Amino acid sequence: MHLSSLQLACAALAALALSAAAAPPAQTQHHVARRSFFNLQCKGVYDAAIFARLDRICDDCYTLFREPQLYSLCRAKCFTTPYFKGCMESLYLLDEEEQIDQMIDFVGKR
């Protein structure tokens, strides 16, 4: 069973399209997160893993309460608002408070 040149060309185009479609989102997410880091007025060191962890707290808090402004208020001033602390409390993360505060200090340079 041999593939015709048309079938081979279609398979190659499909593989190329799949690989091209898969690559940009990871790069785009990185650039969006980095831009978000600066938009939040974070003046520390950008670390994707730490920033993602802090951002996830705000995302989980929004998911819990479904209050549209909560996500932005939680992230405001590089995660240093009382809303962020309230989210930590609501998500039962106070036992990790010292570690999370160190993360905020690292990215935010309080």
Task: Fill in the amino acid letter for 23.
Answer: A
- pLDDT given for residue 110 in this prediction: 59
Average pLDDT of the residues in 88-98:
96
Q: Where are the domains of the chain?
A: 43-110
- pLDDT given for residue 12 in this prediction: 43
Instruction: State how far the alpha carbon of 23 is from the alpha carbons of 10, 40, 48, 83, in Å.
Output: 20, 27, 18, 35
77 compared with 28, residue with greater pLDDT:
77
CATH of domain 43-110: 1.10.2010
Name the DSSP class of 46: -
* Residue 103 pLDDT grade (very low, low, confident, very high; cuts 50, 70, 90): very high
Task: Fill in the amino acid letter for 52.
Answer: A
CA angle 16–31–17, rounded 5-degree value: 10
pTM, whole model, 2 decimals? 0.68
Q: Which residue has the tokens 């980095």?
A: 34
- pLDDT given for residue 28 in this prediction: 39
Closest of 35, 24, 80 to residue 57, by C-alpha = 80
Residue 104 C-beta-side C-alpha neighbours within 13 Å: 22
* Residue 98 pLDDT grade (very low, low, confident, very high; cuts 50, 70, 90): very high
The CA distance from 79 to 45, in Å, is: 14
User: Would the CA dihedral through 102, 79, 60, 39 be positive or negative?
Assistant: negative
Q: What is the pLDDT of residues 16-74, one digit of tens each?
A: 344 444 444 444 344 456 667 767 778 888 898 999 999 999 999 999 999 989 999 99
